Structure 1
Amino acid sequence: MTDLELRQRCHTILPGQRQPTPAATFAAMAAWCEANEVAHDTYGEGALIEAFENKIAKLLGFEAAVFCITGTMTQVTALRLACQDRGSRLVALHPTSHILRHERGNHELLDHFKALFIGDAHRPWMVDDLRAVPDALAAAQVELPMREIGGQCPSWNELNDIKRHCREHNIHLHMDGARLWEAQAGFGQPLASICDGFDSVYVSLYKGIAGLGGAVLAGSPAFVARARAWFHRQGGNIVHRTPYVVAAAMQFDARIAAMPRYFARTQWLYQVLKDYPAIAVNPARPQANMLHLHLPVSRERAIAIRNQVAEEHGIWLFGRASHAALPEHSVVEWYVGDQLLEMPDETVRQALDLLVQGF
């Protein structure tokens, strides 16, 4: 039995958002389209998509924004343009950047830019890490929050120091905001205030928003226009964006409004986890509605525990498990979404009891 099949058999799933069936999703989209008299866009031109792009631009404090079919295409394009503008091919990236970890060398193989690692792999990079670079940087990328290290963020003061340094040294500051919606509650600041000082911001339409896919890049009108042309050059000029925009737009406001509740539930979960000292939590305090659990068992054992609990109790504890730095340890991720928000407290504790019993 595959992991997907085993997960689908479970009546209780801890991490993430609920996943309606395709039939339910498409029916909801059809009803929303009918109620809102939605017409297809044609190559990105149409009332719905243009209004949605403008809505996100305004929310983030920018003049313009453009839809792109994938975040992978979005980010390297933004950084490529920054390099063109500044006559340098160097971009500062954290060692855990999505570009480095999950995009199969696209920045190098497609000749977008040269990556320069900065900072420590286990914490957000700081302004001093940027100051230590002797070379002329075209751009620097900040991920908010940093998924690969449990959802950590720089402090508000440190983030403002980074913004100031980049502005003073003509470094294009780009945000990987795939989970920016999740970071807002942790910062306790408006989205536009978080984005202020960034030259470009990428946000996802399918992670916290739970759409079908797609991304949006926000920036100046001239920068966005150039990005739109580069998306076309790379095969991103699909004829109808309507399904992706509808799937995000129809639930966008509700998802954004739920983020503070997800964060409050994450804070509650941290208190509960104090009763399970065998599990180490990263980060040490909640900074977004996600966290990593460091388990005192190997990756293989963690997966075996997950599968046994799923088969015997119908509870899905986590998805991916990763090797940890220490031998016979592993790391799993919890995204606190609809599932954990609406789950009875005693069910969460039961799941944790079953997890630690397998150690």
Structure 2
Amino acid sequence: MNSNVYINHPLRFACDKFLIRHKPKTQRQWLQELLIMPDVDLEIDSFGTGPALELLESKMAKLLGKPRALFLHKGMIGQLCALKYHADTSGCNTIAIHPQSHIQVDELQAYHELLRLNAHFFGTLNKPFTLGDIHQLPSNLAAVCLELPTRHAGFQLPQWQDLETLNRHSKQNGYALHFDGARLFESAPYWNKSYQAITHLADSVYVSLYKSLGAMAGGIIAGDEHFIESLSPWKSRFGGDVNTVFPYVLSALWGIENYLPHIPDYCLRAKQLSQLLTEVFGQQAVPFEVQTNGFVLQLPIEKFFLDRAVLRYADKHKTWLFDKILDGPKRTSRVEIQVGNALNEWSDQEVVEALHCVISMAGEIKK
């Protein structure tokens, strides 16, 4: 088990109250939910075709303002396919990515190990890209792959004007702009832009189906007709042709109807909660501007002791607070708050009280 990540810890499965993301479902709850879906009686999909799957792809293409959308059971596969397409089309094997981007930090550099693509790092640590970063981009690129927001940089987003400038710069220099929009829906409220206005700036876009949309798994790659058709060989080569994916598809359709409309509310709640946390714990408690439903919280206790306190709190209160704990500066810890429907069971003051309690527990453990 990764020492920073506790999402599969046995104590988590014994909890009945959760602070972050959507409240997790049991296998029985998933099955019960799928059984009442209006699309459950549609013909089952097989190896990439079927009415429910086509309905999902059609809905996502319309939401994202692109001619076509393609479902993949694993977003990583879709993004590798997209980057391979842009590399082959351009004749260049270099992509520009943020040094803290998901495909750099979490995928073991699959873009290089599997596709032999090289990375030009675009932007600096713990910051979104700037106009200066754009002007330092090399002219010979296959694509800029931009994560919106950059989770490991504190869920930060670039300014809208900078995004428009990057779009113009990519066109002028003949490289593609790909949005790793795993949390694209959660980014739109910050800019006060429609999903279509955002994705219009990109040649291709990825969105996750299992984050704020709450599907079992899966993602969508969207773009023009030729782009989507060209992904088919690499989808097969990366193992993307699955016998049937109907549980993923039905749960994604449920999420579009039931979670997507509430994402602006989750973003607003994150902003409000973060403001209270800075009042209680000081400005240093929220080190980055809150721009989406996710933000970084810095707590005044070392990771070693907070680790143990969070597990002790879960055991005592049957309440799960954090899935990941990282070292912060000067004997602090950093955790992620990602607002989903789980927070509906909490008042903001109850969150503060839980944090005070776990910090106190950590202090006792430290003694």
TM-score (norm 2): 0.91
The answer to whether 1:106 aligns with 2:85 is no
Report the Cα offset of residue 153 of structure 1.
Answer: 0.3
Say which of 205, 211, 226 aligns to 2:230. Answer: 226
Cα deviation 1:65-103 (Å, max 9, x = unaligned): 111121111112111111111111110000011111111
Corresponding letter in the other structure for 2:47: Y
Say which of 139, 146, 151 aligns to 1:147. Answer: 151
Say which of 284, 300, 305 aligns to 1:301. Answer: 305
Cα 1:139–1:127 change in 2 (3 A) is farther
SS in 2 for 1:133: coil
Q: Which residue of 2 aligns with 1:138?
A: 142
SS in 1 for 2:215: coil
Q: Which residue of 2 aligns with 1:354?
A: 357
Report the Cα offset of residue 158 of structure 1.
Answer: 1.4
Report the Cα offset of residue 117 of structure 1.
Answer: 1.1
Q: CA–CA distance in 1 between the matches of 2:141 and 2:82? A: 15
The question of whether the paired residues in 2 share the 8 Å contact of 1:91 and 1:114 is answered with yes
Query: Unpaired runs of 5+ in structure 1?
Result: none
Q: Which residue of 2 aligns with 1:269?
A: 273
Cα 1:281–1:89 change in 2 (3 A) is farther
Equivalent positions of 1:125-274 (< 5 A) are 125-274=129-278
Q: CA–CA distance in 2 between the matches of 1:220 and 1:311? A: 50
Q: CA–CA distance in 2 between the matches of 1:105 and 1:345? A: 39
Cα 1:57–1:48 change in 2 (3 A) is same
Say which of 295, 316, 324 aligns to 2:320. Answer: 316
Say which of 10, 20, 43 aligns to 1:5. Answer: 10
Cα deviation 1:176-209 (Å, max 9, x = unaligned): 1111111112221110011112000001111111
Q: Which residue of 1 aligns with 2:94?
A: 90
Say which of 335, 340, 364 aligns to 1:337. Answer: 340
Q: Which residue of 2 aligns with 1:50?
A: 54
Q: CA–CA distance in 1 between the matches of 2:219 and 2:226? A: 19
Corresponding letter in the other structure for 2:349: E
Q: CA–CA distance in 1 between the matches of 2:256 and 2:138? A: 42
Corresponding letter in the other structure for 2:31: F
Farther-moved stretch of structure 1 (52-61 vs 313-322)? 313-322
Cα deviation 1:253-291 (Å, max 9, x = unaligned): 221101011112112102211232357344543200011
Corresponding letter in the other structure for 2:237: R
The question of whether the paired residues in 2 share the 8 Å contact of 1:127 and 1:158 is answered with yes
The answer to whether 1:15 aligns with 2:16 is no
The answer to whether 1:74 aligns with 2:85 is no
The answer to whether 1:27 aligns with 2:37 is no
Q: CA–CA distance in 1 between the matches of 2:287 and 2:81? A: 31
Q: CA–CA distance in 2 between the matches of 1:313 and 1:233? A: 47
The size of the alignment, in residue pairs, is: 356
Corresponding letter in the other structure for 2:196: A
Percentage of matched positions with identical amino acids:
31
Q: CA–CA distance in 2 between the matches of 1:21 and 1:84? A: 43
Q: CA–CA distance in 1 between the matches of 2:120 and 2:287? A: 25
Report the Cα offset of residue 323 of structure 1.
Answer: 2.3
Q: CA–CA distance in 2 between the matches of 1:203 and 1:255? A: 15
The question of whether the paired residues in 1 share the 8 Å contact of 2:271 and 2:290 is answered with yes
Q: CA–CA distance in 2 between the matches of 1:353 and 1:226? A: 53
Q: CA–CA distance in 2 between the matches of 1:165 and 1:288? A: 26
Q: CA–CA distance in 1 between the matches of 2:141 and 2:93? A: 8
Report the Cα offset of residue 249 of structure 1.
Answer: 0.7
Q: CA–CA distance in 2 between the matches of 1:176 and 1:155? A: 16
Report the Cα offset of residue 119 of structure 1.
Answer: 1.0
Cα deviation 1:104-144 (Å, max 9, x = unaligned): 22111112421111210110122421321335111001111
Corresponding letter in the other structure for 1:334: I
Cα deviation 1:307-350 (Å, max 9, x = unaligned): 232233333221111123x3523211011111113423332221
Q: CA–CA distance in 1 between the matches of 2:283 and 2:357? A: 13
Corresponding letter in the other structure for 1:6: L
Query: Unpaired runs of 5+ in structure 2?
Result: 1-5
SS in 1 for 2:54: helix
Report the Cα offset of residue 150 of structure 1.
Answer: 2.1
Corresponding letter in the other structure for 2:34: M
